[in-house]
Structure 1
């Protein structure tokens, strides 16, 4: 973030890095199109808005929530998310929000809700986005997968589900699942191809299989062409709805 740091050096005391630029400072996952480019700078109050070719200037008259992060005056995470909703797609906004409220994250859904300014540009969209936010996604791709399967007509899955065998011994924690059907859906990122991780996944899946769980795996390739993934998931539900089982 060299440009952000350079702009931060010339900010007045009533100015701060905001919007997606602030989210980048906080390490939030942003789509490629939202990374780089001009820096978003907001003026709090009535002072002049910054005018530079490498800056997008904004004004916030009241209620600015600003802090210092790594020497940069920046919007607090909840405010940065709220500011950025009009600049991102719905799925992109949900992915950022899921990241902020993840287990061990810095915020709650209620805190994100409190950061939405009534009557502001994007207020309705932000409220709609919050309805889609869930605690438990560990990556933007897991957020995409959850939203995609729901958009495709499947029931909403539970996230980070702990699975036990019939004797009560822990088997696995899966990304998302429908426990009543014993169906699990896993997103396999690049790290799943590492030898140790691959061997761990194989042992875990064997344990799930012998305990009558169906495990469907998704990869990055399914983002562009999810039809095959959805068909496998439909087949899994067809099998389990024939004889419904209780976890």
Structure 2
């Protein structure tokens, strides 16, 4: 019969803790090996019910073993700042830790250690932890993320007033790594005005297909000046709009009815609106053909 593990002292309940601290408070090594505790890294224990696939749980555990010159960096820092990351990064258990200067690089299972020279070390505090600043983490991640991912994050940095396009351009030019060209290309494509990662991705899909770059989130009015709504991406001179429809646009009845009313108003004002879904972004062929047809329609039937 398995005995229920003895209750831990209060300071060690429900959170990550140093095994050395627990032993100093009377917890035996045998108790630290019981099944109600997990060992995310040596010298640290967490409650077994914590989901170590969750970044916050992993970071809390590894935060206990950071040295004086260590800080969370790269995509780990981006996640701590709650910046949009591709799904494969979110599900990746890797923790990135950087060492400033000539201190020891962290070598632990589940950790990728990096070294950063002092001129490029820009460390801030987020939720009591030391990550790279949002802009520094964006620069650091150029070797891990695709150009489009970097543009999505860059747009989000600008939208949250964590950076401006000129700052990202400047910081990208300062980098001399082998990923510098990718970073500079991404910085050049960052735009103010994007309000979601999908809006950024749609813009990039459109431009990469050879269409003119659309304007972002513009207000549309009727001929008599009545406000009709905001369009995610637009060509105002042609009265062409592109709207991203998330899942809630289909499943929420109130949203669906609101969208229908808006669409009627746009049509009455002479606008052609294309609706795009996540599936269209993943495979944009059909959407781009529709957009091409809309451009041809406007070319053959000029606006009054």
* TM-score of the two chains, using structure 2 as the length reference: 0.77
Matched, 1:68 2:113: no
Q: Which runs of 4+ in 1 moved over 6 A?
A: none
Alpha-carbon distance between aligned partners in 2 of 1:110 and 1:230, rounded to the nearest angstrom? 31
Match of residue 83 from structure 1: 140
SS in 1 for 2:228: strand
Match of residue 38 from structure 1: 94
Match of residue 230 from structure 1: 288
CA distances 1:81-112 after superposition (whole Å, capped 9, x unpaired): 0000110011111111111112x432211222
Alpha-carbon distance between aligned partners in 1 of 2:264 and 2:161, rounded to the nearest angstrom? 32
SS in 2 for 1:84: helix
- What is the root-mean-square deviation in Å for CA atoms of aligned residues? 1.4
**Greater length-normalized contact order (CA 8 Å, ≥ 6 residues apart):** 1
Alpha-carbon distance between aligned partners in 2 of 1:169 and 1:200, rounded to the nearest angstrom? 16
Q: Please, which runs of 5 or more residues in structure 2 have no aligned partner?
A: 1-54
Alpha-carbon distance between aligned partners in 2 of 1:45 and 1:100, rounded to the nearest angstrom? 27
Alignment map for 1:1-247 (pairs within 5 Å): 1=55, 2-35=57-90, 36-63=92-119, 64-102=121-159, 104-116=160-172, 117-193=174-250, 194-245=252-303
Alpha-carbon distance between aligned partners in 1 of 2:166 and 2:73, rounded to the nearest angstrom? 21
Deviation at 1:216, TM superposition (A): 0.3
CA distances 1:144-194 after superposition (whole Å, capped 9, x unpaired): 111111111211100001111111221110100001110000110112121
CA distances 1:11-60 after superposition (whole Å, capped 9, x unpaired): 11211000000000011111122223210000011111000111100011
CA contact (8 A) 1:180 1:244 kept: no
* TM-score of the two chains, using structure 1 as the length reference: 0.95
Based on CA coordinates, which of the two structures has the bigger radius of gyration?
2
Deviation at 1:243, TM superposition (A): 3.1
Alpha-carbon distance between aligned partners in 2 of 1:217 and 1:243, rounded to the nearest angstrom? 21
Q: Please, which runs of 5 or more residues in structure 1 have no aligned partner?
A: none
Alpha-carbon distance between aligned partners in 2 of 1:55 and 1:113, rounded to the nearest angstrom? 30
CA contact (8 A) 2:216 2:234 kept: yes
SS in 1 for 2:274: strand
Match of residue 38 from structure 2: none
Deviation at 1:122, TM superposition (A): 1.6
Deviation at 1:199, TM superposition (A): 1.1
Alpha-carbon distance between aligned partners in 1 of 2:108 and 2:246, rounded to the nearest angstrom? 39
Deviation at 1:214, TM superposition (A): 0.3
CA distances 1:197-245 after superposition (whole Å, capped 9, x unpaired): 1111111111000000000000112123322211111111111112333
Alpha-carbon distance between aligned partners in 2 of 1:24 and 1:120, rounded to the nearest angstrom? 22
Alpha-carbon distance between aligned partners in 2 of 1:106 and 1:170, rounded to the nearest angstrom? 31
Alpha-carbon distance between aligned partners in 2 of 1:45 and 1:203, rounded to the nearest angstrom? 59
